[in-house]
Chains A and B, each alone.
Chain A
Amino acid sequence: MISHHPGEEEQSAMSLTRRTFLKGTGTLAGAACVGVPLPVLAEAAASASAKAAGDKGVKYVNTTCVHCVNFCGQRIKMEDGVIRVVYPNPDIAEYYNHGICPKGGAGPFNTYNPYRIKAPLKRTNPKKGPHEDPGWKEISWEEAFTEIADKLKKIKADNPSKLVWHHGHGKYLMGDQFPKAWCAAFGTPNVVHRTTTCEAARHVADELTWGYHAFLPDVEHSNLLINFGANYFEAEQWARWLDHAVTDARARGMKVVSVEPRLSNAGAKADQWVPIRPGTDVVMLLAMARVLMHDGLIDEEFLTNYTNAPHLVAKDGAVLTDDKGEPLVWDAVSNSAKPFTEGVTPTLAGSFTVNGKPAATAYQVLHDSLTDVTPEYAEKVTGVPAETIQSLAREFGKQAMIGSTVVIDGRKIRYRPAVIHSFRGLAAKEYGVQNWRAALIVMMLVGAPDAVGGLGLHDVYKNPDNFKPSKCEYPPKRADLQKSVYFPHSHHNVCQQVALTLLDPKAYGLPYEPEMQIFYATNRAFSTADALKQFAGYAKTYNVVIDLVLTETAGMADIVLPDLSYLECWHFAPTRWTPNSKHTAIRQPLVNAYNIPYDTWAVMWELAKRVGFQKEYVEGMNKEWKNKKVMFDPTKDYTAKEAVAVLWEDATEKPLDYAIEHGFKGKHVDTDHRYLEGVEKQFKGPGKPKMKLYADQLVGSYETIAKTVKEKKIKNLDLAYYKTALSPIPIKEHAEPTARKGVKDYPIYLMTYKRMYRNQAGNTALNPILNALGDTDENFVLINPVLAKQIGVGDGEEVRIETRAGKAQGKARITEGIRPDVVAVSYSYGHISPGFPDYAKKGIWINQALELHPDVISGMNSFNDTKCTVVKA
């Protein structure tokens, strides 16, 4: 059963009758008079008159949520054209989510929200800052388009790189392929996504290690899951699959150990909580690696045949190669250094002389580097008892059942039912890449990658360039310094850097000064670490913000444009795969609650037309989306629905009507694809590239950085620091983030986390249902009773947190579920925007108090390294 809007059949403006056209509201009629494209108005007019056109009764619409990046399949009940209740789509259960979360359930009030931006707004107060009232005045769409297009034309003629496009949520609404095509057609390289406020470091650790990113623990078959700070019951990507998969696995007998400073909801459902000092996980993992190596609980066959553990490393850290560039191993047969080809038996451990110079295998280098990283040493650093570290490592080694296999669908597959999982717990740190690399190394030691019950890797070795050193570009082309000498392996943009570059572009060698920024569905300024600097940077440019509500970032705009919500738009929706399935999905409009005539699709279309790059934009769409059969036609005008139809038909070979009826199309993945196309196919055996236990490309990147700094006389890059940061293997120094150095006066660790009831985009703060779930309209300073007693504070009393970056104040919540030397404050609360009512501003804005020391390998924001004082306010 689907909701049918008669007007939407009319793809061509020419067939739109005059009567239907004039039936729209005053806004639409006014917009029509000044040349707004008719196909856009056709959709809006049809939606506006939906009630009259016959939406009586109850209808169910299948669509895709986007409150977070799970993209749950939903079935939404409409009553007489009003969105009433959101249910899970029962048909998606075999492919992804079994239920939905409260954000998805409360989704109708993301749309029905009187605080939504309903018309374009222009700033009258020239001063820009987090506490400034912009002095909005409503302007017409024509005025908005004219002003924005004029600015764009000037910049395009001068230097199109001076435009920076930001999105966060926006990528998950329409897909980042459209902004990428739009910006490429305009001529700017500056398209910036939010991944460095999310989990970029984890991705980059994956990429450096196995040539692409993303994975899922094979919990269906695991017997032991060690979770380093992932919170799949309150937050995180893939949570709506992990939640039921982990719950079922626990019911089957899988043991879960939760290593985190605060007992999260995921930790609450674990068998063991290991309260670790924030930011020290790398040392615990290295100590575990040492236990495994010393106890012989290692998968020699895996290490030798699938990884670069046998590669010979010289004293300077570089891997030895032959004159063709092939890495050398020590061949046990010929007792000489050779590439690993047929007939060669690589030696896993040992030190050798090669061409008169000393060399050791990468495995040996790792082994020797851990001499001092004993469980006892790790206890001092991490606060976790040595006995716990030792027994956990031994249990992990034992549960991995090294050497065993299992038969599934007639295939004999390696069986290692022990796995480590993490999300921001390891990644959102100054040494985020090294942290997750340490976990990958522990798993490589027991052979868990792509084994049944181990860690299922996605699209292994899809990008072989990840195994090469970075070009360490200088001068940088992009305002976010992506893949530059500053952030050599920042493959996922460096979103927080743009503002900092704006404050002093010459310091980074940027050959231009950005003048204009467009922000699509992101509350960037509010959501990073050391947030006040973000506002300072954004004050320097002419800004356009497209969003649902007046967030703090919108407060920095010169022009704000309304957006349509995900329940009002046509999108080709992103989706999440699972170990045994994938699916393709759309979003379709249910209403147009405030009769807004443009969604972001139409805005981008109109601007591309006015500035004169529409044709190149459409050509770029084919390039970015990689369509195979159904292509975008550069001579055609497209509505969002038509664009979605192209993408849907190309991906599924089914008509759009199928998507309108079902919302998605899924398929199951076979055993070969699930277990045998990853490391088995890409890395196993002689003559193949190898998974990197030892990230030798970082050695090459550092060499290039050192050379570049010297040649270009770069003043603001500390080579000694970069040498440590770019170590090819994680080392104990990676548990000593900059925020911990010289902070004697700040004795307490400050960590952050995410609650279920808020997302980064900001509009959830206004949702009356999400705020009514019990203490969900504000957040608290979680504090252990021992610390609370020390500072004389009771439950609910005000405490003040001070760091070197800033201050924050809020209500204490006393809990036994946190280390006594740590306080925790969740984010996405404490809004300050003048565009929000008071009830949506409750709680603490912690981001302004977080020090920012990015992971220089990946560009990742650090969120959990800061130290603070905590006093009764």
Chain B
Amino acid sequence: MAKFVRVIDTERCMGCRSCLSACYMENHLTPDSPWNVMMEWETGSYPNVGRSFVTMNCMHCEHPPCKLACDAIGVKAISKNEFGVVLIDYDKCIGCQYCQAVCPYGVPQYNAKLKNLYPGQDKTPPELIAAEARHPTHRKKVKTVEKCTFCWHKLEKAVAKGETNLIGKVPEYTPSCDLVCPVGARVFGDIEDPTSKVAQWVGTGKATQLKKEFGTRPQVFYKLTGGDY
């Protein structure tokens, strides 16, 4: 069975935020509830200065604390499927925000309001696409929590067609954030496929996971530039 992971090479990342823009377009951004964010910081002091660019969507943890909490209170709105993708069912979500409280990465986004993209203006044609015409993960519901889905609406099509071997290898089966990167800093695919880029980058690229001390076992790996003083 395939396990889908992402590897982000922060040495290559140039901090353009195209992966953020792609996610917001692909996934019908709910303003103020982004599924992908950029963290930038500096190290050192003048003139010995470094700058780091690190993006973060959802870790799709092997042991997701969000699911743990949601199951524990009996709501069971969060699932983790056979490929490791962690998804929220907006119809089951009660908006308690426990998942937001327990995620070490700050991933779940609670949408107190569903605002239009242009404040004070009518919805634009993309916003007017009816719920029935959207994938369930794009049928945003107020006072629920939403987050990165590994673009499950794209991967699901590969599964349906029996083409999971092409996930991360062809544009239509690649999460859009990984697809648009101008400098090839992000790869996605099946870590159990030895020919995949993710297997190579994780195995020989000195990749690591963030906040390992929480025991979440993320399915997103990072090649970090190192240095944090």
**A residues within 8 Å of B by Cβ?**
75, 79-80, 82-88, 90, 97-106, 108-109, 112-115, 233-234, 240, 243-244, 247, 251, 263, 265-266, 268-269, 273, 275, 591, 593, 756-757, 766, 768-770, 772-774, 776, 784-786, 815-820, 837, 839
Q: Which residues of B contact A102 (CB under 8 A)?
A: 16-18, 20-22
Nearest B residue to A93 via CB reads: B184
- The 10 nearest A-B residue pairs measured at CB: A99-B182, A102-B21, A268-B51, A105-B21, A233-B14, A112-B124, A768-B117, A247-B183, A114-B121, A82-B125
Most buried by B among A108, A115, A774: A774
Task: For chain B, give the interface size range.
Answer: 35 or more
Query: Are A774 and B20 also in contact (CB < 8 A) when A99-B182, A268-B50, A273-B47 are?
Result: yes
In the complex formed, the residue of B with least CB distance to A265 is B15
Q: Is B47 touching A85 in the complex (CB atoms < 8 A)?
A: no
Q: Report how far A79 CA is from B128 CA in the complex, Å.
A: 12
Complex Cα–Cα for A102 and B26 (A): 13
5 CB < 8 A contacts A-B:
A97-B182, A98-B181, A102-B17, A105-B18, A108-B25
User: Once the chains bind, are A769 and B21 in contact (CB under 8 Å)?
Assistant: yes
Of all chain B residues, the one with the shortest Cβ separation from A233 is B14
- Among B45, B119, B124, chain A packs the most CB atoms within 10 A around the CB of B124
Beta-carbon contacts under 8 Å, B26-60 to A: 26, 29, 31, 34, 37-38, 42, 44-47, 49-53
Interface status of B129 (Cβ within 8 A of chain A): yes
Bound together, the chains give a CA A679 to CA B148 distance in angstroms of: 53
B228 → chain A, closest Cβ, in Å?
14
Q: How far is the CA of A774 from the CA of B182 in the complex (A)?
A: 19
Contact (Cβ within 8 A) B126 A776: no
Closest chain A residue to B183 by CB distance? A247
Given known contacts A234-B14, A265-B15, A837-B119, what 14 new A-B pairs fall within 8 Å (CB)?
A87-B179, A88-B179, A99-B179, A101-B182, A102-B21, A108-B126, A247-B12, A268-B15, A275-B47, A772-B24, A774-B38, A784-B46, A785-B46, A817-B49
- Chain A residues whose C-beta falls within 8 Å of the C-beta of B29 in the assembled complex: 769, 772
Q: Is the CB of A275 within 8 A of B46?
A: yes
Min Cβ gap B229→A in Å is 12
Q: Contact at B184–A98, with CB atoms within 8 Å?
A: yes
Across the two chains, which residue of chain A brings its CB closest to B23?
Answer: A105
Across the two chains, which residue of chain B brings its CB closest to A385? B47
B171 near A87: Cβ-Cβ < 8 Å: yes
Q: How far is the CB of B174 from chain A (nearest CB, A)?
A: 9
B residues less than 8 Å from A275 (CB atoms):
46-47
Residue in B closest to A81 when the chains form the complex, CB atoms:
B125
**Chain B residues in the interface with A (C-beta under 8 A):** 11-12, 14-18, 20-22, 24-26, 29, 31, 34, 37-38, 42, 44-47, 49-53, 117-122, 124-126, 128-129, 133, 171, 176, 179-185
- B6 CB to nearest chain A CB (Å): 16
Task: Report A-chain residues with C-beta under 8 Å of the C-beta of B51.
Answer: 263, 265, 268, 817
Name A70's closest neighbour in chain B (CB-CB): B182
A98 and B183 within 8 A (CB): yes
Rounded to whole angstroms, the CA-CA distance of A786 and B85 in the bound complex is 47
Report Cα–Cα, A104/B180, bound state, in Å.
10
CA distance A266 to B126 in the complex (A): 34
Alpha-carbon separation in the docked complex, A240 to B180 (Å): 12
Contacts of B52 in A (CB 8 A): 268
Chain B residues with CB below 8 A from A768, complex form: 31, 117-118
B24 in contact with A100 (CB, 8 Å): no
Given A265-B15, A837-B120, CB of A243 within 8 Å of CB of B182 = yes
Which of A90, A269, A786 has most B Cβ within 10 Å? A269
Contact B53–A268 (Cβ < 8 Å) = yes
Give the residues in chain A near B184, CB-CB below 8 Å: 98-99, 244, 247
A431–B7 Cα gap in the complex (Å)?
Answer: 45
With a cutoff of 8 Å between Cβ atoms, the chain A residues found around residue B129 in the complex are: 79-80, 82
How far, in whole Å, are A757 and B16 apart by their CA atoms in the complex? 9
List the A side residues contacting B14 at CB < 8 Å.
233-234, 243, 247, 265-266, 268-269
Quote the shortest CB–CB distance from B128 to chain A (angstroms): 8
Residues of A within 8 Å of B122, CB to CB, are: 114
Q: Which residues on the B side are within 8 Å of A79 (C-beta)?
A: 129, 133
For the complex, give the distance between the alpha carbons of A530 and B70 in Å: 59
List, in ascending order, chain A residues with CB within 8 A of B42's CB.
815-817
Chain A nearest Cβ from B59, distance in angstroms: 19
Chain B nearest Cβ from A278, distance in angstroms: 15
A768 to B46, CA, bound (A): 35
Looking at the assembled complex, report how far the CB atom of B28 sits from the nearest CB atom of chain A, in whole angstroms.
Answer: 9
User: Do B183 and A99 touch (CB < 8 A)?
Assistant: yes
Taking a contact as CB atoms under 8 Å apart, the answer to whether B44 and A772 are in contact is no
Give the residues in chain A near B44, CB-CB below 8 Å: 816
Question: Which chain B residues border A115 with CB–CB below 8 Å?
Answer: 118, 121
C-alpha spacing A273/B125, complex, angstroms: 46
Judging by beta carbons under 8 Å apart, are B46 and A756 in contact? no
Determine how close the nearest CB of chain B comes to the CB of A95; give it in whole angstroms. Answer: 14
C-alpha spacing A243/B45, complex, angstroms: 27
CA distance A756 to B15 in the complex (A): 9
Q: A residues within 8 A CB of B25? A: 84-86, 105-106, 108, 769
Q: Are B38 and A773 in contact (CB under 8 A)?
A: yes
Are B24 and A816 within 8 A (Cβ)? no
Question: Hey, which chain A residues are within 8 Å of B50, CB to CB?
Answer: 268
Residue of B nearest to A84 (CB): B126
Residue of B nearest to A88 (CB): B180
Let me know if B15 and A101 touch, CB within 8 A.
no
The residue of chain A having its C-beta at the shortest distance from the C-beta of B25 within the complex is: A85
Q: Which residue of chain A lies nearest to B32 when distances are taken between CB atoms in the complex?
A: A772
For the complex formed, measure the closest distance between the CB of B113 and the CB atoms of chain A, giving whole angstroms.
15
The distance from the CB of A392 to the nearest CB of chain B, in whole angstroms, is 14
Closest chain-A Cβ to B27's Cβ sits at a distance in Å of 9
CB distance from A795 to the nearest CB of B (A): 12
Cα distance A265–B185 when bound, in Å? 15
**Assuming the A-B contacts A87-B179, A112-B124, are A101 and B16 also in contact, with contact meaning beta carbons closer than 8 angstroms in the complex?**
yes
A81 to chain B, nearest CB (A): 8
CB < 8 Å: which of B49, B126, B171 contacts A112? Answer: B126
A109 with B17: CB separation less than 8 A: no
Among B34, B49, B125, residue most surrounded by chain A Cβ atoms (within 10 Å): B125
Contact: B182 with A244, CB < 8 Å?
yes
Nearest-CB residue, chain B, relative to A820: B46
